[in-house]
Amino acid sequence: MVFSGIPFLFFFLPLCLILYYVVPFSWKNGTLLVFSLIFYAWGEPLYILLMLFSTALDYTNGRLMERYGTTEGRRRFFLCCSICVNLSLLAFFKYADFAVSVVNGIFQTQIISPQIHLPVGISFYTFQTMSYIIDLYRGEVKAERSYITYLTYVSMFPQLVAGPIVRFSDIQEQLHCREITRDGIERGVLRFMTGLFKKVLIANQTGALWEEIRVLGAADTSVATAWLGALCFTLQLYFDFSAYSDMAIGMGQMLGFHYSENFRYPLTAVSVTDFWRRWHISLSTWFRDYVYIPMGGNRKGVSRHLLNIAVVWFLTGLWHGASWNFILWGVYYGILLVLEKYLWGKALAKTPQFFQHIYAFLIVVFGFVVFAITDMGELGSYIRLLFSLGSNTLVDTRFLWYLGNYGIVLGAACVLACPIYPWICRKASFLGRKGSFVLSLVTGVAVLLLFVMATAYMVSDTYNPFLYFRF
């Protein structure tokens, strides 16, 4: 995919920015739309028609709702038309193969799997278009009169493929009036570079170690090595996904848009509840606002609250992929959130904060093992390996070799997963202009050096996966 490769970084983005800056404001949305469609067509030339159909459907229903939605019944009709079609398309392209395999497994049939290729980013842009029509139905936004503007919102290449899920209500005004400043461009470049470094220098390296550990047989894997692999995948997923969010937010700033944060140092959470306030914020708030709260939230008694949590977390797991391990991962977090809410949450809050961090971190790392391995047999074997203190060596020479070779990357990842840089910025602000100048100088030198390193890795390293490509 061009988004993760050198052609995008060194050709597509600069060309887009140059043309975007030189055209008058009335042409900026059109320019951005053209480049967004080229970007998507580069990787998905056929499925661009699917996105155009989906956006045309919601745009049309939005206009019809505004013009003819004089009664609740009519408004609900237009809402249901959009939601049913959007969810049907998502279900067909993302879950048809999974549904066939489930039916074959239950009824011992021989239905041939359709082998449907998943359109890139369909989960993200489907949720964006649904948020528009739902907010319009609620009266929280006004119908967009320009289809070009609405299509620009949905197809905007900075966040189309990997999020964050940007709601129309958040950027409706920016689509019509936004300011492009030198400070915004500088901040955007720095944020984009931060994401690039996280992806290339940390996510790819920890991911390579995870892949190496994952394929080891049980006889060659100690308990410590298995946990090291789980840690590596956790770091890979966090730095990979948050890197793309950083790059999307940075590119948005360069274009004059301001997207909401999608990650707030989730690996420093003190509970499962806190983790989900920090991880993939745009998704968790989407389910909260459009599923959990409309179903009643926690306002209709304990039994209804438990049902609402079960539904939300089943859907959250299913959203991530058409596989049983994703459903299990969603159920895993749903159960833990219920237990924190009704059993040990208050007691946990009274324990030392260090214990709270360890508790949440271990739960998250183990949970991402469930997330990482789609084959249920392989998943069961790896989980047994994590807890097989009696049958496997606790620590072996392979584990020590991995630490020796990847120790710097792992150490840097663990440090950067903590809010160190914001702390440094706060300290520098207390020193006044001199402190800010020194921080800017050090940051500039660091960015230059890291850019050289990242470029060298991109040229020489063939391992460059895109974990959220399938979502």
pLDDT tens by residue, 128-161: 999 999 999 999 999 999 999 999 999 998 887 6
Same domain, 138 and 286: no
Answer yes or no: is pLDDT of 2 > 50: no
Q: Which of 9-23, 212-226, 451-465 has the lowest mean pLDDT?
A: 451-465
Is residue 253 domain-shared with residue 292, that is, in the same domain? no
Q: How far apart are CA 62 and CA 66, in angstroms?
A: 6
231-246 in b/e form (b: 16+ CB < 10 A) is: bbbbbbbbbbbbbbbb
Answer yes or no: do 276 and 408 share one domain: no
- Residue 267 belongs to a domain: no
- From 280, 305, 320, 357, the catalytic residue: 320
- The 10s digit of each residue's pLDDT in 30-88 is 999 999 888 888 777 888 899 999 999 999 999 999 988 888 899 999 999 999 999 99
Return the ∠ at Cα 145 (arms to 140 and 150), rounded to 5°.
80
Mean pLDDT of 374-394: 85
- At 268 the pLDDT is 96
Residue 467: what pLDDT? 61
- What was the pLDDT predicted at 3? 43
267 closest CA partner among 417, 164, 467: 417
Do residues 13 and 102 share a domain? yes
Tell me what pLDDT residue 468 has: 58
Asked, for residue 431, whether it belongs to a domain, the answer is: yes
| pLDDT given for residue 206 in this prediction | 95
307 falls within a domain: yes
Residues 319, 239 within the same domain: no
Q: In whole angstroms, give the CA distance from residue 17 to residue 31.
A: 10
Residue 395 lies in a domain: no
Confidence of residue 108 (pLDDT cuts 50, 70, 90): confident
The pLDDT value given to residue 31 = 93
Q: Classify the phi-psi angles of 268: left when phi > 0, otherwise alpha if psi is within -120 to 50, otherwise beta.
A: alpha
**So what's the pLDDT on residue 12?**
78
Least confident of 275-289, 399-413, 444-458: 444-458
pLDDT at 289 over 50: yes
Angle between helices 48-68 and 147-155 (to 10 degrees): 130
CA distances from 94 to 116, 222, 301 (A): 8, 37, 34
Q: Is residue 59 domain-resident? A: yes
Please give the pLDDT value at position 154.
93
CB 302 within 8 A of CB 338: no
pLDDT tens across 191-208, in order? 998 998 999 999 999 999
Average pLDDT, the chain: 88
What Å distances lie between residue 436 and 2, 8, 107, CA to CA? Answer: 36, 33, 67
What separation in angstroms does the CA of 304 have from each of 281, 293, 296, 317, 409?
A: 24, 12, 8, 20, 46
Better-predicted residue by pLDDT, 351 or 424: 351
- Two structure tokens written together for 271: 């509970």
Is 282 or 469 the better-scoring residue by pLDDT? 282
Joined tokens for residue 94: 């993302």
**Domain residues for 456?**
182-222+230-259+403-471
Same domain, 421 and 370: no
Residue 460's pLDDT is 67
pTM of the model: 0.91
Same domain, 468 and 410: yes
pLDDT at 258: 92
The distance of Cα 27 from the centroid of its chain, to the nearest Å, equals: 30
Number of domains making up the chain: 3
pLDDT of residue 1: 40
Residue 55 shares a structural domain with residue 170: yes
Residue 360 lies in a domain: yes
Confidence at residue 427, expressed as pLDDT on a 0 to 100 scale: 72
Let me know if residue 394 belongs to a domain.
no
Kindly state whether residues 60 and 113 are assigned to the same domain. yes
Instruction: With cut-offs at 50, 70 and 90, classify the pLDDT of residue 394.
Output: confident
Residue 359 lies in a domain: yes
- 357 with 425, same domain: the answer is no
Domain identity same for 19 and 159 = yes
pLDDT at res. 4 = 46
The residue out of 355, 387, 419 marking a domain boundary is 387
Q: With helix as H, strand as E and coil as C, how does the chain read?
A: CHHHCHHHHHHHHHHHHHHHHHCCHHHHHHHHHHHHHHHHHHHCCCCHHHHHHHHHHHHHHHHHHHHHCCCHHHHHHHHHHHHHHHHHHHHHHHHHHHHHHHHHHHHCCCCCCCCCCCCCCHHHHHHHHHHHHHHHHHCCCCCCCCHHHHHHHHHCHHHHCCCCCCCHHHHHHHHHCCCCCHHHHHHHHHHHHHHHHHHHHHHHHHHHHHHHHHCCCHHHCCHHHHHHHHHHHHHHHHHHHHHHHHHHHHHHHHHCCCCCCCCCCHHHCCCHHHHHHHCCHHHHHHHHHHHHCCCCCCCCCHHHHHHHHHHHHHHHHHHHCCCHHHHHHHHHHHHHHHHHHHHHHHHHHCCCHHHHHHHHHHHHHHHHHHHHCCCHHHHHHHHHHHCCCCCCCCCCHHHHHHHHHHHHHHHHHHHHCCCHHHHHHHHHHHCHHHHHHHHHHHHHHHHHHHHHHHHHHHHHCCCCCCHHHHC
357 is catalytic: no
Q: Is 116 left (phi over 0), alpha (psi -120 to 50) or beta?
A: beta
User: What span, in angstroms and rounded, lies between the C-alpha atoms of 425 and 447?
Assistant: 16
